[in-house]
Structure 1
Amino acid sequence: MSSEFYIGKRLSYDGRLCTVRYHGAVQGTKGEWLGVEWDDPTRGKHAGGHQGIKYFKCLHPSPTPASFIRPTRRPDTPQSFTQALKSKYASDPLPADFRDPDVHIVFTTQPGDHLKKNPPHRAPIKFSGKVAEEVGFDKIRKQLAQLSELRIIILDGLRMWRPDVRGGAWMQGKGGNDVKEACPKAMELDLSRNLFEEWREVASICEQLERMRNLRVDGNRFRDTTLSEEERERCLKAFANVHTLRLEENLLPWEELARITHLFPTLSTLGASSNLYTGLTPHALNPTITDLTLEDNRIPSLSAIECLAKLPNLQRLILKSNKISEIKALDLPLPIFSPTLTEVDFSFNEISTWAFIETLAHVFPGLTSLRVSHNPLYESLQSPDGRTLTADDGYMLTLARLGNLKTLNHSPINPKERLNAESYYLSMIAKEVQFAPENFREQILKSHPRYAWLCEEYGEPDVQRKANAVNPNSLAARLLRIKFYLAADKSRTYEAEIPMSCTAYTVLGMVGKNFSIKPLKCRLLWETGDWMPVRSNVTDFDAEDWASDDSEDEARVDRVMREVEIVPGTRSIGTWIDGSEAVVRVEINRENGVWGHVAAKRNA
C-alpha cells in the first residue's frame, strides 16, 4: 500500500508534509504527476491548476498551497509508533554494562582549564561566562531511555503511520500491543503533524494507554473519520479517560470534528483553533465540554456559532483572533448562551461599536470574566467633548457598561474601581446629551441600557445645555470661522471656514491669495475682544490743572484690546485661536520694515 498513490495519501518530502490530491497527466507535459497540497500553504506554487486548467481543489484557501511533483521522487520513510518513540527518547543506545557517577557540574575559572578536562572536539558550555564541565549527562540520557516510565510523550512531526489498522483491519484484531509494551504509563500524548489518514490509527494507539488523560492530534489531514457502530463502541472505551482533546489546524469540516468529540465520554476541554471556520453548522459538540477554544479562525459574528449556545455545561469560550464584528447577521435570531458560561475572550477581533459590548450582557447572561483588548473600538475613542480617550478610559467604560463583570482583560475589578468607572460613564452620558440637539435626548439615553440603573444608584446628572452648542465630534466642531480685514482698508474683508489643523503657513497663503499680497509681507493679528487696563502718565495739562494740590504727574488708566500675533510656522491655527469664530487684522509690510496700519491714537 505504501508504494501506491491514491487521493488522500499522506507523504513527507524533506520533512515537509503533504496530501495527494491528484494523480495523472498534466496538459502540456509528459508522463504522470502527483498533485499535492502542502500542510504549509506557503510551500507550494499554485492552488491546483496549471495553464488555466484546474486539476484538483485544496482545503486551504491560500493561493499557493499546492505543487506538482513526479511520482518517482522518493518520499521520506514513514515510522511506526515504536520507531518514532525510540528515535525521540532513546536515540543514543548505551552498553549493558554502562556505569556513571552522580550528575554534577564543575566550574573552572582559570583560562584553559576546560581544555584539560573536555575533549578537544567538544565546544565548552558556559554559564555567565564561566566554563562548565559536563559530568553525568549520559546517565540522564539513559534514564530517558527507560520508555516504560514516560508520563508525557510528544511525537510531533515524526512521520508516524499505522497502515495495518486502516479499513476494516482494526476490527479484525490487528493493532497489537506495541504501544502498551513501550510506554504503558503515558498520561499525555501528542500525535500532531504526522502521516495518519484515518481516525482508526489514532484510536488503535490510545486504546493501549489506559492512563491517558490529554490527547493532541493537531495538524493531521484525515481523509476518513467515519466509523462503524462496532468501531464507535471500541473508541468509547479507548478514549474513556481522556479529558482534554486538541484538534487544531486539521481543517476538518465542523460536522466531522463534532462527531469525533462524541467518542470521548468524559471530554471537558476541546481546542479547535486554526481550522479556518467561518461559521459552524448545527451539528452539536459533546455536551460534557466545559472549556472550548476556537482561536485563530474566521468567524464573523456570534450568530455564526449559534450551535454552541446549546452546550449546557460550557464555562469558558475563547474566540481570540477571529473576525468578529457583530452579534448577529441579518434575519438571524440573537443567540443566548447557557448561564454556566462565565468567561469569554474576544481579544484581537474587529469589534468597533459600544452596542456590541452592551449586548454581551444579553447574549451571555452568566458573563463575569471578559477579555476584549486589541479591537478597533479602543483605537480611536473620543469623549463627547472631543477629548481623545486613552486605553484606560476604554477599560473603565467597558466595565461600567457590564454590571456583572468581576474580571476584565485578566484584571480583577474591585468595588472602588467599579464606583469610579460607573460615575465616569454617567458623566459621559450627560456630556453626550449636552452636546446633542434637544430632540436627540431620548434616542441617546435609549442607547445606554444602564442609564436608568446608574441614575437610581448615583443620582441623575445635571445636564447644562449651552446655547448654540456644537457636538465636538462633528465636522463643524473642527472648523474655525475667521473674518480677515485689511488694517489699511477695513472695507476689504475675507471670511472663510478653516480646519483647526491648518498650519499658520497655510493660512498666510490663503490670506495672501485673496488680498493679492505676498504671504511673507502679511502680518496676522487675532483681535481677541478682551480689553485690558493700561496705566499711563499725564504730561499735558491745562491752566485749570495747575490749581491741583498734587504737584506730581497724575496716573490715568486706559483700556486696550488684547491681540495675539499668529507667527508664521507649522503650528496649527487652532492652537493660536480660542473658540470657533475670530476676527483677524491683516497688516502689510510696505517697505523698510514699516507695517502699514491705522495706529490707535491715545487721548491725553
Structure 2
Amino acid sequence: MDAQFYPGKRLSFNNDLCTVHFVGAIEGVKGDWLGVEWDDPTRGKHDGSHNGVRYFECARKFSTAGSFVRPNRPSDPPLSYVQALKKKYASDPADEVNLDIVVTGPVPAHVPVNERGKVIKISGKEAEEVGFDKIRKKLANLQELRIVLLDCLCIARPLPALLEQAAQGNTDVTAANLTDVKDVSPKIHELDLSRNLFEEWREIASICIQLDRLTQLRADGNRFRDITLDDTLSAAFCKVTSLSLEDTLLEWNQLVSICSGFPNLKTLTAASNALGRCDGALLPTTITEVVLEKNDFRTLADLKALTKLPHLKRLRLKNNSISDVGSQTLTASEPLVFSKSLDDVDLAYNSIDSWRLIDALPDVFPGLRSIRIAANPLYEKLHSADGKELSADDGYMLTMARLGGLEVMNFSKISSKERLNAETYYLSQIGIELSNAPETQEEAILGTHRRYRELCDEYGEPRVERQATERINPNSLAARLINFCFYPGDSVKAKLAGRGSEAEEFSVELPRSFTVYSMLGVVGKRLGLPPLKLKLYCETGDIAPAEGGLLGEGGEWDSEEEENEAEKGAVKREVEWVAGTKMVGTWVEGRETRVRVEIS
C-alpha cells in the first residue's frame, strides 16, 4: 500500500475528520482498507472489529466511532496555513453575493446594479450592496488581523525541511528561518486552529513561534500522535496566557507535557477529553483557571494534582460524574485541600446526591466564595425530616445556609436578607429533624450539621417538640396523619344554642392529603350543619396583635411587664382554609393543630 497512509494519519472526507488507526487487509474482504476513527462518534459503524476480529482500538472507550474505508476514496485536499487564511479572510468577493439578510423595511422597486455587475437579493428583492467592499478590503489586509479563526479548514502543515535539519544537530538552523506566517499575518494575538489535520504538536508550534504578540491559542478537536517539541521551537508559546485543548483525547500527563512549554500560562481549558484522574504530573504554577468540563471525574480526590496550584482562582467541573469527596484515597498527612486563592467552583450537572459532599466543601475549598451547583440529583428528591417534599429552591436555600462563607450561588449574588432567610429556614429544618428522632440520636444528628452551634449563637436554638414516647417513623402511614382539634366559634355556639344543644370541641386524626372540601364534610357531619356554610380557621402558632392590643413598635417588647401586658391584647394568628381541593397538610407543619369553626 502507498506509504502515505499510516497509523495517526489525519484525513477528511466531506468535511468529516478522522484518524487512521489501521492500514492493511481485512479477513474475508478483498483489497486493502483503512481503519479510521471519526472525530464525530456518531459517524462510525463499529469499535474497530469485524466478524469477531479486532483490527484497531478507538481512542474513546466503548466507542463505535470506527469505520473501514478504501484507500482510493477521495479525501478533502489539505490547505496550508496561508491558503486557509486567504480563503477565510480574503476570498473572492464574487462568492459572497448571496446574503441571508432579513429586511424589516420596504425595498425600492428599482435598485441599480453594483459596480461588479452582481445583484444582491434580499427576501427575493434586489438591493444595492453598500459598504461591503470597504469591509472586505479591510479584512483582506491580512497584515492587520488581530483575531484569526481558522477552525475546520483542513489545515495540514508538514514540518519544513529546516526543522528536520535542526533536529539532526544543524545549529545554523533556527526558528527565525520560519517566515511564512509572520510575513502574511504578524499582528495576531488570538488564534484558533481547532479541528484541522495537524498530527504533531510541532506543527502548531511552528506557526505560533512566528507570532510575537500571540496570547490566546485554541487547538481544540485535533488528534496529535506526537506531542514532543524540539529545542528549536521551545520559545513558541512564551507569551501565551490562554490555551484551549478541548476534545483532543489527550491523557493527563500529555496535557501537562504540552503545558510545560507555556511559561506564562494562566488559563487552561481541557474539556471533553475523557479524563478520569489528574495524577502525577503537575501543571505550571502560574495557572489561575482550569476548565475540565465534560470529562469522567467521579470524586474531588481525582483532581488532587490541582491542589498544588498556588494561584488557582477558578475551577470549572460542570458535566462530570462527581458525587463524593473520595476521602478513601486520602491520608491524614496529605488531605485534599485546594489553595485559599480558589474562590470560584462550578459543580453543576454532576452526580451529587447527598449533603455529605456539600458539607465537605469548606474543608476542600477553604477560600470558596462562589459556586454553581444546579442540576444535581440532590435537588430532585429532597424531603424534610417529617417526609414533606422540598423544592429545588428549598435545596438551594439549605446549601446557602450550610456554606457560611458563600457570596455567590448559581450566578446570583447572595443578599443579606437571602442569607438570613436561608439560615433561619435551615435551623427550623434541623429542629424538625430533632423532633422526629429519639433524644438518644440528637448528638449523631447534630454531627451532620457543622454550622448548628454557630447558627444557634446567631439566631437562637430551634424549637424541638418530642413526644414522651419514641417518634413515629416519618415514612410510615401514621406519620401522614394529623390530629385536628376543632372548636366552635361564636357563630356556631349561637346556632347550636338555638337548637338547644351545646357546642363542644372535638379531635380527629385525618391524612395530610385530605382536601378542604373533605374536611368541611367531616366537620359538618359532626356538628349537624351544612358543610358549605362553614368556615375553617387554622391556628398558625404565631402571635398577632389584636385590635387595640399592645405589642409595641415592630411587635416587640423590652421587659417582662410589657410582655405580659402585650399578651393581654394579642391573639393567635389564623389562616382561613378556603373551600377547594387544596390539601390541608400544606398549612400544617407538625402533627397536630387547632381549627376554629364558624358559620358563613
Within the candidate set 137, 143, 146, 1:142 is matched to 137
Q: Which amino acid aligns with 1:227?
A: L
| Alignment match, 1:557 | 501
Q: Which amino acid aligns with 2:12?
A: S
Within the candidate set 82, 104, 122, 1:125 is matched to 122
Within the candidate set 146, 153, 171, 2:148 is matched to 153
Q: Which amino acid aligns with 1:339?
A: K
Cα distance in 2 for partners of 1:146, 1:122 equals 25
Q: Which amino acid aligns with 2:7?
A: I
| Alignment match, 2:361 | 360
Instruction: Please give the secondary structure, in 2, of the residue aligned with 1:168.
Output: helix
What's the CA shift string for 1:309-333, capped at 9, x where partnerless? 1111111100011100001153434
Cα distance in 1 for partners of 2:32, 2:300 equals 47
Give the direction of change, closer, same or farther, for the CA distance of 1:555–1:215 in structure 2 (3 Å limit).
closer
Instruction: Tell me whether 1:330 sits opposite 2:331 in the alignment.
Output: no
Instruction: Tell me whether 1:37 sits opposite 2:44 in the alignment.
Output: no
What is the 5 A alignment of 1:66-215? 66-92=66-92, 109=106, 112-114=109-111, 122=119, 124-125=121-122, 133-165=128-160, 168-169=164-165, 171=167, 173=173, 176-215=178-217
Deviates more, 1:324-333 or 1:418-427: 324-333
The Cα shift of 1:282 comes to 1.6
| Alignment match, 2:406 | 405
Give the direction of change, closer, same or farther, for the CA distance of 1:378–1:563 in structure 2 (3 Å limit).
closer
Q: Is the 8 A contact 1:11 1:20 kept in 2?
A: yes
Q: Is the 8 A contact 2:119 2:126 kept in 1?
A: no
Instruction: Please give the secondary structure, in 1, of the residue aligned with 2:307.
Output: helix
Deviates more, 1:240-249 or 1:325-334: 325-334
| Alignment match, 1:602 | none
Give the direction of change, closer, same or farther, for the CA distance of 1:367–1:477 in structure 2 (3 Å limit).
farther
Cα distance in 2 for partners of 1:77, 1:360 equals 52
| Alignment match, 1:497 | none
What is the 5 A alignment of 1:446-457? 446-457=447-458
Q: Which amino acid aligns with 2:370?
A: S
Cα distance in 2 for partners of 1:119, 1:147 equals 23
What's the CA shift string for 1:558-587, capped at 9, x where partnerless? 5699999x9xxxx97687878xxxxx99xx
Q: Is the 8 A contact 1:528 1:561 kept in 2?
A: no
Q: Is the 8 A contact 1:291 1:316 kept in 2?
A: yes
| Alignment match, 1:428 | 429
Within the candidate set 216, 225, 228, 1:226 is matched to 228
Q: Is the 8 A contact 2:59 2:249 kept in 1?
A: yes
Give the direction of change, closer, same or farther, for the CA distance of 1:58–1:111 in structure 2 (3 Å limit).
same
Give the direction of change, closer, same or farther, for the CA distance of 1:152–1:461 in structure 2 (3 Å limit).
same
| Alignment match, 1:265 | 263
Cα distance in 1 for partners of 2:31, 2:494 equals 105
The Cα shift of 1:109 comes to 3.5
Cα distance in 2 for partners of 1:294, 1:362 equals 21
| Alignment match, 1:394 | 395
Cα distance in 2 for partners of 1:107, 1:352 equals 50
Cα distance in 2 for partners of 1:86, 1:449 equals 62
What is the 5 A alignment of 1:447-486? 447-468=448-469, 470=471, 473-477=474-478
Give the direction of change, closer, same or farther, for the CA distance of 1:107–1:324 in structure 2 (3 Å limit).
closer
What's the CA shift string for 1:337-358, capped at 9, x where partnerless? 1111111010111111111111
Q: Is the 8 A contact 2:47 2:65 kept in 1?
A: yes
Give the direction of change, closer, same or farther, for the CA distance of 1:359–1:272 in structure 2 (3 Å limit).
same
Cα distance in 1 for partners of 2:446, 2:11 equals 62
The Cα shift of 1:14 comes to 1.0
Give the direction of change, closer, same or farther, for the CA distance of 1:117–1:73 in structure 2 (3 Å limit).
closer
The Cα shift of 1:382 comes to 2.1
Q: Which amino acid aligns with 2:57?
A: K
Deviates more, 1:527-536 or 1:290-299: 527-536
Cα distance in 1 for partners of 2:496, 2:159 equals 114
Cα distance in 2 for partners of 1:478, 1:574 equals 17
Give the direction of change, closer, same or farther, for the CA distance of 1:74–1:131 in structure 2 (3 Å limit).
closer
| Alignment match, 1:341 | 342
Deviates more, 1:462-471 or 1:293-302: 462-471
Cα distance in 2 for partners of 1:130, 1:113 equals 9
The Cα shift of 1:139 comes to 2.4
Q: Which amino acid aligns with 1:556?
A: G
Cα distance in 1 for partners of 2:459, 2:420 equals 9
Give the direction of change, closer, same or farther, for the CA distance of 1:61–1:375 in structure 2 (3 Å limit).
same
Q: Percent same amino acid among aligned pairs?
A: 48
Give the direction of change, closer, same or farther, for the CA distance of 1:336–1:223 in structure 2 (3 Å limit).
same
The Cα shift of 1:75 comes to 1.4
Instruction: Please give the secondary structure, in 2, of the residue aligned with 1:31.
Output: strand
| Alignment match, 1:513 | none
Cα distance in 2 for partners of 1:106, 1:326 equals 54
Q: Which amino acid aligns with 2:336?
A: P
Give the direction of change, closer, same or farther, for the CA distance of 1:120–1:465 in structure 2 (3 Å limit).
farther
Cα distance in 1 for partners of 2:328, 2:503 equals 67
What is the 5 A alignment of 1:540-555? none
Q: Which amino acid aligns with 1:178?
A: D
Cα distance in 1 for partners of 2:133, 2:494 equals 96
What's the CA shift string for 1:519-542, capped at 9, x where partnerless? xxxxxxxx999687788999xxxx
Q: Is the 8 A contact 1:81 1:160 kept in 2?
A: yes
Q: Which amino acid aligns with 1:209?
A: L
Give the direction of change, closer, same or farther, for the CA distance of 1:22–1:106 in structure 2 (3 Å limit).
closer
Q: Is the 8 A contact 1:406 1:412 kept in 2?
A: yes
Cα distance in 1 for partners of 2:397, 2:495 equals 56
Q: Is the 8 A contact 1:10 1:195 kept in 2?
A: yes
The Cα shift of 1:62 comes to 4.4
Give the direction of change, closer, same or farther, for the CA distance of 1:577–1:178 in structure 2 (3 Å limit).
same
Give the direction of change, closer, same or farther, for the CA distance of 1:116–1:194 in structure 2 (3 Å limit).
closer
Instruction: Please give the secondary structure, in 1, of the residue aligned with 2:396.
Output: helix
Q: Which amino acid aligns with 1:189?
A: L
The Cα shift of 1:119 comes to 10
The Cα shift of 1:106 comes to 11
Q: Which amino acid aligns with 1:146?
A: N
| Alignment match, 1:47 | 47
Q: Is the 8 A contact 2:407 2:414 kept in 1?
A: yes
Instruction: Please give the secondary structure, in 1, of the residue aligned with 2:34.
Output: strand
Instruction: Please give the secondary structure, in 2, of the residue aligned with 1:453.
Output: helix
Cα distance in 2 for partners of 1:29, 1:562 equals 88
Instruction: Tell me whether 1:255 sits opposite 2:253 in the alignment.
Output: yes
Cα distance in 1 for partners of 2:248, 2:189 equals 23
| Alignment match, 1:245 | 243
Cα distance in 2 for partners of 1:440, 1:575 equals 36
Q: Is the 8 A contact 2:472 2:479 kept in 1?
A: no
Q: Is the 8 A contact 1:536 1:556 kept in 2?
A: no
Cα distance in 1 for partners of 2:505, 2:427 equals 41
Cα distance in 2 for partners of 1:422, 1:255 equals 44
Q: Is the 8 A contact 2:21 2:56 kept in 1?
A: yes
What's the CA shift string for 1:365-393, capped at 9, x where partnerless? 11111111111111122222333222332
Instruction: Please give the secondary structure, in 2, of the residue aligned with 1:221.
Output: coil
Q: Is the 8 A contact 2:120 2:127 kept in 1?
A: no
What is the 5 A alignment of 1:316-327? 316-327=314-325
What's the CA shift string for 1:503-562, capped at 9, x where partnerless? xxxxxxxxxxxxxxxxxxxxxxxx999687788999xxxxxxxxxxxxxxx962256999
Q: Which amino acid aligns with 1:185?
A: K
Instruction: Please give the secondary structure, in 2, of the residue aligned with 1:30.
Output: strand
The Cα shift of 1:471 comes to 5.7
Cα distance in 1 for partners of 2:262, 2:82 equals 25
Give the direction of change, closer, same or farther, for the CA distance of 1:434–1:400 in structure 2 (3 Å limit).
same
The Cα shift of 1:61 comes to 2.2
Structure 2, unaligned runs of 5 or more: 95-101, 520-524, 527-600
| Alignment match, 2:63 | 63
Cα distance in 2 for partners of 1:38, 1:292 equals 27
Within the candidate set 302, 305, 326, 2:303 is matched to 305
Cα distance in 2 for partners of 1:276, 1:556 equals 82
